Amino acid sequence: MSSRTSRRSLLTALGAAAVGISFGAAGCSKPAGDGVSASGEEPKLNFYNWDTYIGDTTLSDFKAASGIDVNMSLFASNDELFAKLKAGNPGFDVIVPSNDYVPRMSEAGLLMPLDHAKIPNFKNVNAEFLDPPYDPGRKFSMPYTWLALGLGYRKSKMKGIVPDSWKYVFESDMFRKRITILGDSADLIRLAGKYLGYSINNIPDEGLVKIEAMLMKLVRSGNLLKFTGDEGDTLLANGDADLVIEYNGDVAQKATEDPDLDFLIPKEGSELTSDTLCIPTGAPRPDNAHKFINYILDGKAGAEISKTILFPTPNDAAKALMPDDYRNNHIIFPPADLLAKSEYAQFPGADRLQKYEEMATRIKAAGVGG
């Protein structure tokens, strides 16, 4: 009898201890910062960024230059970023949304206006990015990279042709079960619309009907291997897929290790994006945030970043410092005529996004026929 009482009391004590520890851990979440910078902010920064999207030494270089310790967390999609911030800023100082999310987030009051006086390196930015339609006067964002969607492919498996059109992913039987396309509803529908000849921000309703029919037929045909998020380049590199829809920088990174890989923008044109640096509302250290953004826009720091991530840079000073094999790389800087046919995406409005999402759910529920 005594052993049962003692075991029960031991379990009770353990249970009480567990609850107590978790309360205690919840209580002391932020230790006091050591030292305070001239502006009164502690020398720390919470940076919320995409994966593999910063230079190898950028954060340590910034710490050496300014004494600010950068803590980088990762997110995988703009929706994840938006969902996290929608419920209130959990303490991020600098975030990296894409261009179509900047107006959406600024309208929702989630972004803090930038003080250009604190960002003198703004002069390094390429003229095309100084006053874009999604952020007139660069009130809320600074350009970090620009990207192009297109087709990544393995040259040796292309059966002698160059896949220069979207039809090879959307409507062809040539590469059975070796194709992946984007799973993101808005991007997928916009690219399918580009293939059918529409402007990505203005697809009429009968265009949506045609797109849905074409994509349902694609899913039913069994030619598609998978809907990918950002793992298309991994599947291409490890031989599971031969033709993928991916961003140019992701394929450029894989192509440095595997020269059999290549990338192109199809002849119908494609979708362009620009990832930007913003400061969310409620950032605890806006002064440090401005310093960080200014540092990234510096030519040398920008060159260091571009050397690692191999995405095209909107920063002229950084581009000038890059080696020739970066500037002349046709994956990183696609030919101007195809870029001219490509467009930046706009935020289509909440209702249209939900309509796109329901279309994508129907397409993915179509079922494989053969």
Partner 1 sequence: MEQSWRQAKSIFMTLISAPLFWLVAFFIIPMGIVWLYSFGENSGLIDIAFTGTWSNYAHAFDPLYLGIFAKSIGVAVVTTFFCLVLGFPVAMAITFAPDKAKSWLLLLIMLPFWTNLLVRTYALIAVLRTNGYVNMTYQFLWERTSGLMTLLGMQPLGDFHPAILLYNNFAVVFGLVFVNLPFMVLPLYSTLDRMDRSLLEASLDLGAGHIRTVWNVMVPLAGPGIVSGILITFIPSLGAYLTPDLLGGPDSQMIANVIESQFKRANNWPFGAALSFILVYMTFIGVALQGVIESRNKRRQA
Q: Which two tokens stand for residue 60?
A: 């340590």
CA dihedral 291, 292, 294, 299 (to 10 degrees): 140
129 — phi, psi (to 5°)? -105, 10
**What is the CA 358 to chain-centroid distance, rounded?**
22
Q: Does 10 bind partner 1 (CB under 8 A)?
A: no
344 — phi, psi (to 5°)? -80, 145
Which of these segments, 118-126, 276-284, 294-302, 347-355, binds partner 1 (CB under 8 A)? 347-355
Q: Does 364 bind partner 1 (CB under 8 A)?
A: yes
Burial letters 14-36, b for 16+ CB under 10 A, else e = eeeeeeeeeeeeeeeeeeeeeee
Pick from 6, 14, 15, 56: which binds partner 1 (CB under 8 A)? 15
Pick from 82, 122, 333, 344: which binds partner 1 (CB under 8 A)? 82
Residue span 153-192 as binding mask against partner 1, x where in contact by CB under 8 A, dash where not:
------------------------x------xxx------
Which of these segments, 81-89, 202-210, 261-269, 330-338, binds partner 1 (CB under 8 A)? 81-89
Q: Does 73 bind partner 1 (CB under 8 A)?
A: no
Q: Does 71 bind partner 1 (CB under 8 A)?
A: no
How far, in Å, CA of 152 to CA of 173, rounded? 17
Shortest Å, Cβ 348 to partner 1: 12
Pick from 6, 22, 60, 73: which binds partner 1 (CB under 8 A)? 22
Residue span 206-235 as binding mask against partner 1, x where in contact by CB under 8 A, dash where not:
-------------x----xxxx--------
Non-local CB neighbours of 41 within 8 Å, separated by 6+ positions: 284, 285, 287, 288
* CA-based nearest residue to 180, from 130, 238, 125: 238
Q: Does 244 bind partner 1 (CB under 8 A)?
A: no
Q: Does 21 bind partner 1 (CB under 8 A)?
A: no
CB atoms within 10 A of CB 293: 23
Pick from 44, 104, 138, 194: which binds partner 1 (CB under 8 A)? 104
- Which stretches within the chain are classed as H helix? 2-27, 58-66, 78-86, 101-107, 167-170, 185-195, 205-221, 232-237, 248-257, 286-296, 299-309, 316-321, 324-327, 336-341, 350-364
CB atoms within 10 A of CB 234: 15
Shortest Å, Cβ 53 to partner 1: 19
Pairing mode, strands 224-228 and 343-344: unpaired
Which of these segments, 35-43, 135-143, 238-246, 273-281, binds partner 1 (CB under 8 A)? 238-246
Q: Does 9 bind partner 1 (CB under 8 A)?
A: no
Residue placing its CB nearer to partner 1 in the complex, 117 or 365: 365
Residue placing its CB nearer to partner 1 in the complex, 110 or 297: 110
Residues that bind partner 1 (CB under 8 A): 1, 4-5, 12, 15-16, 19-20, 22-23, 77, 79-80, 82-83, 86, 104, 107-110, 177, 184-186, 219, 224-227, 238-240, 350, 353-354, 357-358, 360-362, 364-368
